[in-house]
Structure 1
């Protein structure tokens, strides 16, 4: 059974892959490019958006054939949508868990008002000064603890996934042990996030029945993902084919 920890690691490990994939124009038209790419070739929304953006770029380029420099490359919008959705869900989950499970930073000590309460001896003053320095250092280290979840700064999906992973695995840090309900919530968010990432990258097993029918009138089931070459199967005549052509008829 896939665990919450595995789901969170999936997001953290594949986030760079999503960034790279988002800026790579989809190559469509062949089974070997993955199930998602094949299905996109059949007319999904992000292919249409890509075509519109590419036509606009080509039109601009044709008007100015001497234009120099880098040209904008249309991005894969469904990848960006996935990244936004996953990041929002994980960061919000980390915000909510930290709000209840993470303890407040240690307060820095205040200076003693010696005019009101003077030290009786220099030795007493030196001991008090040394204690204040020690407590100040502890407070500084605590507030800057890298294991502490912050509501500003680095609020990315992989950082949130790793922080939540530390809570699930009971790693030490400025937090109490999460409750069973908090762990279940992290599990639900992590499972949805990992599923979205795997589907976006076409690394999860997938199957789909196409609306288009085969020449014989039968339905076409497409299976792929997990790095395997997608296969199409006609439920009417039984034909099976891949990028290389018909495998069985």
Structure 2
């Protein structure tokens, strides 16, 4: 996947990420794989109270469901992209044309130069350094730069392209993981129950059933789905 593809993923999936931020998390990582999750008496009471508060017939305003983890991911991505766009623009963006204003508007040639300078300053292709933080706008602007689209810019160096690529890859991967579209692997502290006693890893996080796999003998274990009353 190219840098432009990663940036396009951020732009295209941002609305879905915003929608995910407005819902409570429904999955955990790593998967519990049958491990019981115990709740204290206080936690049980809080759960009962929350359900009562969210009952449509209950009085008072409804609590707004928010997934703080998704909001944190969005902040990380937005900060990374906007900071990178500011940094890149400071290096590759041509300064705005400067037109002297002392001669007034009576000189037609001078008037044309002033208008040209104003048009150059308002060029929508320019990145407004330290402007509004907006992940899709920054991703789109960076995507145009790595694609070499024309504008008041010079071409990117290899170093600059690599810097953008790293931020883009990080943002796209965070989105895929947050939306459950990227499968993850994590070591399990217990050894393989087979004679090899090898390293176990748990795989999941992409919406598919999780599994435990031994990296030595290759055996795999999956959890049979159980019906929830």
The TM tier, using the shorter chain, reads: 0.7 to 0.9
Instruction: Report 1 or 2 for greater relative contact order, CA contacts < 8 Å, sequence distance ≥ 6.
Output: 1
Q: 1:42 to 1:202 in 2, by over 3 A?
A: farther
User: Map of 1:50-129 to 2, 5 A cutoff?
Assistant: 55=47, 58=50, 61=53, 67-73=59-65, 75-112=66-103, 128-129=107-108
1:237 and 1:61 mapped to 2: Cα distance? 48
Quick one: which of 209, 212, 215 aligns to 1:233? Answer: 212
Quick one: which of 217, 222, 229 aligns to 2:202? Answer: 222
What do residues 84-120 of structure 1 show as CA deviations (whole Å, max 9, x unaligned)? 1111111111111111111111124414179xxxxxx
Match of 1:203 in 2: 181
Quick one: which of 127, 140, 144 aligns to 2:122? Answer: 144
1:218 and 1:171 mapped to 2: Cα distance? 52
Kindly indicate whether the alpha-carbon contact (under 8 Å) linking 1:207 and 1:223 is maintained by their aligned counterparts in 2. Answer: yes
2:10 and 2:202 mapped to 1: Cα distance? 26
Kindly indicate whether the alpha-carbon contact (under 8 Å) linking 1:222 and 1:232 is maintained by their aligned counterparts in 2. Answer: yes
Normalising to structure 1: TM-score of the pair? 0.69
SS at match of 1:69: coil
SS at match of 1:90: helix
What do residues 8-51 of structure 1 show as CA deviations (whole Å, max 9, x unaligned)? 111111111111111111224xxxxxx7484699799xxxxxx8
SS at match of 1:208: strand
Match of 1:47 in 2: none
Q: 1:133 to 1:221 in 2, by over 3 A?
A: same
Kindly indicate whether the alpha-carbon contact (under 8 Å) linking 2:190 and 2:200 is maintained by their aligned counterparts in 1. Answer: yes
Structure 2 segments unaligned to the other structure (5+ residues): 38-42
Corresponding residue pairs, total: 214
Structure 1 segments unaligned to the other structure (5+ residues): 29-34, 45-50, 115-124
Tell me which protein shows more helix as a share of its residues: 1
Normalising to structure 2: TM-score of the pair? 0.74
Kindly indicate whether the alpha-carbon contact (under 8 Å) linking 1:148 and 1:174 is maintained by their aligned counterparts in 2. Answer: yes
Measured after TM superposition, the shift of residue 7 of structure 1 is 1.4
